[in-house]
Structure 1
Amino acid sequence: MERVDAVIVGSGQGGVPLAADLAAAGKQVVLFERRSLGGSCINYGCTPSKAFLAAAHAAGRARQAAALGIHAEVRVDFAQVMERVRSIRDRFNQGVEQRLVKAGVRVVRAEGRFSDGQTITGGGVSVQAPLIVLNTGTSPQLPEIPGLREVPVLTNLNFFDQKNLPEHTIVLGGGYIGLELGQGLARLGSKVHLVHRHAHLLNSEAQQVSDVLAEAFHRDNIDLHLGVRVDQLHYEQGIYTLHLSDGSTLTGEALLVATGRRPNTDALDAPAAGVELDEQGYVKIDEQFRTTAPGVYAIGDVAGQPAFTHVSWEDYRRLTAILKGEDRRRDDRVLGYAVYTEPQVGRVGFTGEQAKKQGFKTRAVTLPMTYIARAIEWGHDLGFYQLVVDSETDRILGATLVGYEAAELVHVLLAHMQAGSSWQLLEQSVHIHPTYGEALPSLARLLT
């Protein structure tokens, strides 16, 4: 039995910097990783998907430039697109390994599991430590469709290993993974059918967001099948046949399943350490990431935190401060996120409905993209900006931006909210003309 200062299980975007910092401070640190270093973000999520979308959206914009009088012939080399995606992924992955080696972290390439409350075992190695941090993330959740588990399907785990573009693709799921990858395939030349059991896309967002995305997908020749389920699935000679609850039938050479996530806790043997899980299998934590076992913490989406890289990274910063005795909590920063469809969805804080459920008295205003000079001039007039404020204090409570590069623009609202700004401060700001950002003071001005 080896004894060290800390054990990290999982090399996601919280676990890696935490391990590196602890090792750089002179601690003996062991990190267990059963797959590729860097977690979902680098290997199966942010990095490859955004490299993939860089090509897809370039193709889509070229085709849509016809509205500006520019008629382009687009030829997609899918094999080259995917080779570039994998090369970027591999380079980032190697960077993670180099960082850990340089910091002096011992990496065990094996699945780590609890032997007891202070011991992790895997790959023939057993390590005991007073500090154990779980950062094991999540994996694709396959829906309960008869026969689905017996056929080869695409998920975000293997999507980026493709070398040939499917002529027809069926996408199950209308969340951000299904929307991003589905639109990307369509823009690269695959005929895409998207099936979603809810009545609108991104069903956790407002209906207005779904309506804009549905129109965008229509322009990309994507067929939407909303509010339906898959009753039967057949797979023969490389062809998938899906029978839907509305009586329709779909066929395709590829089936992408993006219907949800499940926590990577099955292999941990959490009961052996006294680490409690909730009914969905997520690690239970308190406001400072403590599990129900002394000395064991959990960060990132395995602990039910919002499933975003920037959240996991901030969890690392939070936990680092907590271990030093500082007062940080799991939700002590304004949360923003984005969906990288085109148009993009940029979100921060509450929607109007969410704010009301939290007991706020609210005011909300909306500005269509068709009212924004830059959007009209550049032909990006699909979408809207919406602002929600507290009617009693005038503080900004949230914003939803749907439009070109909304993921960049939403940071303006995030910074205002983190600073506790009122909508009047935003309204008084002089933004540059003509820009998309110029519309934010105009949006706030609707409250006057």
Structure 2
Amino acid sequence: MKQKFDSIIIGSGQAGTPLLFSLASKGKKVAFIEKTQVGGTCLNVGCTPTKTYVASARRMWDIKHSNDVGVDFEGSFKANMNAIKDRKDASIAKSVQGIHSAIENNKHIHFFKGEAHFISDNEVSVNDEILTADEIFINVGGRAFVPDEYKDIPHLTNVSVLNLKELPEHLIIVGGSYIGLEFGQIFKRFGSKVTIIERGERIISREDIAISDEIQKFLKADGIEFVFNAKKITPSYNGNQVSLKINDEVEVSGSHLLLAIGRKPNTDIVKIENTTISVNKRGFINVNDYCETNVKGIFALGDCNGKGAFTHTAYNDYQIVENYLFADKSRKISDRISTYGLFVDPPLGRCGMTKAEALSKGINLLEGKREMSRIARAKEKAETYGFMSVLVDADTDQIIGACVLGTGGDEIVTSILNVMYAKKSYKLIRDSVVLHPTISELIPTTLEKLKAIHE
């Protein structure tokens, strides 16, 4: 017997969960399906747990570098992996319990713990029950990509690495991008030996070369080792050590292996092939500007639609869908400006285009750039790695991209992003009076001396 609902939400990530309570507040009868823990990737295995680890790693760095700021320290210190993990787990549990309580106390929400599978466009099975609705919202997220050659090799992913109770002696990380770099610095500061192996010529190839080089510089200063141009990697395991033969020449062996090669959408798990919903060759669900698929009434939100791989883009997907369903349909995916952070220490905050992207589009480009080593507040804090860069379209005077790599960069970049959304001239912040002493106060100064960029 089929159970009929007004709406079905598959997955409880940062789009599905707020949408759930919005639909319920309108009196809709909603089926809410989650196969693991409510809260999605961000809460359980993403932003929340990793940033607690970043904070612990930063404390390790502070103690080690106390002499840099005139503080004498004598004694030993070490990372207590059990305590670090317990702190992370407690933070997650509190939030998960809050969501569960809200679900249990809402008469319009019917919660199903289990793995959802599509039977047809508007029919979903879970735990041998069949649910149907005219509106279905897919928020199933993604998972770590594990190539076939690693399937029989003991390995960690971004999920399992957070369950370690003992510190790896030597952590080998395959993948020199965002996830790999964050975990690399975390565990190096905890006390592991860390080697990052990257297929390309440099880390985070999506970024401009100057950013890759500067981040590599301070990660090397932390003691992380790098191997580049690893076009061929042959893994093996001898019962004690994982070994990677690189390009049939170099061999790297370690106690633990973390795969940070990329992620894939979970659309195969929900058996999307049983529907007429359109997906691309990588498995991402194709959607329009309002997150709606080619099947009317079916929406895909968050990582599984390929329109963003961040908590903030997932939440914006929820805002777009809610606006589409209940308001004036004025919010669209195409209206948002790309923004994200890399939470190494010091962090990278980025918004808009990179320099390479702007040049490839033939934009008449101006750049304002300032090294952190020239900023008084950074010197006072003894944290002078990095730089800030602001890109301006010379034909419109509008900011089209920016990065702040350095202390506070993940917070500071939002002030630039706000001006971009306002579509105002860069002169608005160039001529503003900014609080001293801060890192932000150098944004106006940086914009006073723009230089033309041609390559």
Q: How does 1:24-423 map to 2 (within 5 A)?
A: 24-72=25-73, 73-104=76-107, 105-144=109-148, 146=149, 148-245=150-247, 247-324=249-326, 325-423=328-426
CA distance, structure 1, for counterparts of residue 408 and residue 151 of structure 2? 37
Task: Show structure 2 runs of 5+ residues with no match.
Answer: none
For normalisation by structure 1, the TM-score amounts to 0.96
CA distance, structure 1, for counterparts of residue 295 and residue 413 of structure 2? 39
CA distance, structure 1, for counterparts of residue 233 and residue 337 of structure 2? 41
Report deviation, 1:252.
1.1
Do the aligned residues in 1 keep the contact of 2:154 with 2:242 (CA within 8 Å)?
no
Task: Show structure 1 runs of 5+ residues with no match.
Answer: none
Report deviation, 1:52.
0.9
Q: 1:333 to 1:102 in 2, by over 3 A?
A: farther
My pick for the range that moved more, 197-206 or 269-278, is 269-278
CA distance, structure 1, for counterparts of residue 83 and residue 226 of structure 2? 29
Amino acid at match of 1:133: F
Amino acid at match of 1:40: T
For each residue in 1:268-314, what CA deviation from the matched residue of structure 2 results, as whole angstroms up to 9, or x when unmatched? 22232211110001111112211122211101110002100011001
For normalisation by structure 2, the TM-score amounts to 0.95
Q: The residue matched to 1:103 in structure 2 has which SS? A: coil
The runs of 4+ residues in structure 1 deviating greater than 4 Å are none
Q: The residue matched to 2:105 in structure 1 has which SS? A: helix
Report deviation, 1:230.
4.8
Amino acid at match of 1:350: M
CA RMSD of aligned residues (A): 1.5
Do the aligned residues in 2 keep the contact of 1:385 with 1:399 (CA within 8 Å)?
yes
CA distance, structure 1, for counterparts of residue 441 and residue 376 of structure 2? 9
CA distance, structure 1, for counterparts of residue 138 and residue 83 of structure 2? 37
Q: 2:448 aligns with which of 436, 445, 448?
A: 445
Is residue 2:435 matched to residue 1:432?
Answer: yes
Report deviation, 1:231.
2.7
For each residue in 1:108-141, what CA deviation from the matched residue of structure 2 results, as whole angstroms up to 9, or x when unmatched? 1111121111111111221111100111011000
Q: The residue matched to 1:130 in structure 2 has which SS? A: strand
Number of aligned residue pairs: 446
Q: The residue matched to 1:305 in structure 2 has which SS? A: coil
CA distance, structure 2, for counterparts of residue 246 and residue 74 of structure 1? 40
Identity rate, percent? 30
Amino acid at match of 1:53: V
Do the aligned residues in 1 keep the contact of 2:232 with 2:248 (CA within 8 Å)?
no
Report deviation, 1:359.
4.3
Amino acid at match of 1:334: I
2:15 corresponds to: 14
Report deviation, 1:265.
0.8
CA distance, structure 2, for counterparts of residue 230 and residue 46 of structure 1? 31
